[in-house]
């Protein structure tokens, strides 16, 4: 039951037996089971997500992106936070100084539990590949905490499809990011 005109990758992912087995093995540790109409609906949703994510990845490759520009008035900690914002856009975390045990929480859910893991997310996450730019960046610093307020533009193929307002708190004890807490809100222009 492959999708007409699909790539070998997407047809492999949409074979009912293989795809259902993969989804079942993924959700089993969470105490969930697939069955009946719920199973069919979940599989259809997962196929749609897989197809959209694959399309986003291929459409975003090679697009021009606008990174946050260094500002000479940034404090040392704000400059470190800015390297993270730059990496969101450039998809290159090589300049971001994470502590080895750095963690990240987004909307109350932990999304990263190590510096290398966070770097990997910035470099390769399909979701992050849709980030086109950041703008209207303001930093507020209090002690070892820097809070960044900014707008994030996301889309496909270089075309902005949505903008969200981000409040991202960075705890930077000395010269490495130890903790990040992100909150996302809708934004209408």
Residue ranges covered by each domain of the chain: 8-60, 76-186
The percent of residues above 90 in pLDDT, for the chain, comes to 59
Quick check: 167 and 72 in contact, CB under 8 A? Answer: no
- Per-residue confidence band for 26, with pLDDT thresholds at 50, 70 and 90: very low
Q: Identify how many contiguous H helices and E strands the chain contains and give both numbers.
A: 5, 6
- Where do the DSSP E strands lie in the chain? 98-106, 109-112, 131-142, 145-156, 159-171, 177-186
CA dist., res. 177 & res. 104, Å (int):
10
Q: How large is the average pLDDT for residues 71-87?
A: 93
Q: How many whole angstroms separate alpha carbon 118 and alpha carbon 101?
A: 10
What confidence score (pLDDT) does residue 175 get?
96
Q: List pLDDT tens digits, range 4-17.
A: 444 344 333 444 44
**SS3 call for 137:** strand
Instruction: Answer for the pair 89, 68: CB distance below 8 angstroms, yes or no.
Output: yes
Query: Predicted confidence band at 3 (pLDDT cuts at 50, 70, 90)?
Result: very low
- Dump pLDDT digits (tens) for 83-138: 999 999 999 999 999 999 999 999 999 999 999 999 999 999 999 999 999 999 99
* Confidence grade of residue 35 (pLDDT, cut at 50, 70, 90): low
Mode of pairing for the β-strands spanning 145-156 and 159-171? antiparallel
- 112 or 64, which is more confident? 112
Mean of the per-residue pLDDT values of the chain: 77
* Separation CA 30–CA 92 (nearest Å): 33
Task: Choose from 20-34, 61-75, 149-163 the range with maximum mean pLDDT.
Answer: 149-163
CB count, 10 Å around CB of 65?
17
Query: Radius of gyration over alpha carbons of the chain, in Å?
Result: 19
Q: Under DSSP, is residue 160 helix (H, G, I), strand (E, B) or coil? A: strand
- pLDDT bucket at 72, cuts 50 / 70 / 90: confident
- pTM recorded for the entire structure: 0.65
Cβ–Cβ < 8 Å for 63, 54: no
State the fold for domain 76-186: Nuclear Transport Factor 2; Chain: A, (3.10.450)
């Amino acid at each position: 039951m492959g999708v007409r005109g699909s790539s070998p990758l997407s047809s492999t992912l949409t074979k009912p037996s293989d795809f259902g087995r993969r989804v079942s093995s993924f959700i089993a540790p969470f105490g969930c089971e697939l069955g009946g109409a719920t199973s069919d609906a979940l599989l259809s949703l997962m196929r749609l997500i897989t197809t959209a994510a694959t399309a986003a990845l291929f459409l975003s490759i090679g697009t021009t992106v606008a990174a946050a520009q260094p500002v000479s008035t940034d404090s040392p900690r704000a400059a470190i936070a800015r390297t993270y914002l730059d990496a969101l856009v450039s998809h290159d975390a090589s300049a971001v100084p994470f502590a080895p045990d750095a963690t990240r929480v987004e909307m109350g859910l932990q999304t990263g539990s190590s510096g290398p893991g966070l770097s990997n997310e910035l470099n390769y996450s399909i979701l992050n590949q849709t980030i086109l730019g950041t703008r209207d960046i303001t930093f507020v610093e209090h002690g070892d905490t820097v809070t960044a307020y900014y707008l994030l533009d996301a889309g496909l193929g270089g075309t902005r499809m949505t903008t969200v307002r981000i409040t991202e708190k960075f705890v930077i004890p000395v010269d490495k990011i130890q903790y990040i807490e992100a909150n996302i809100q809708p934004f209408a222009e």
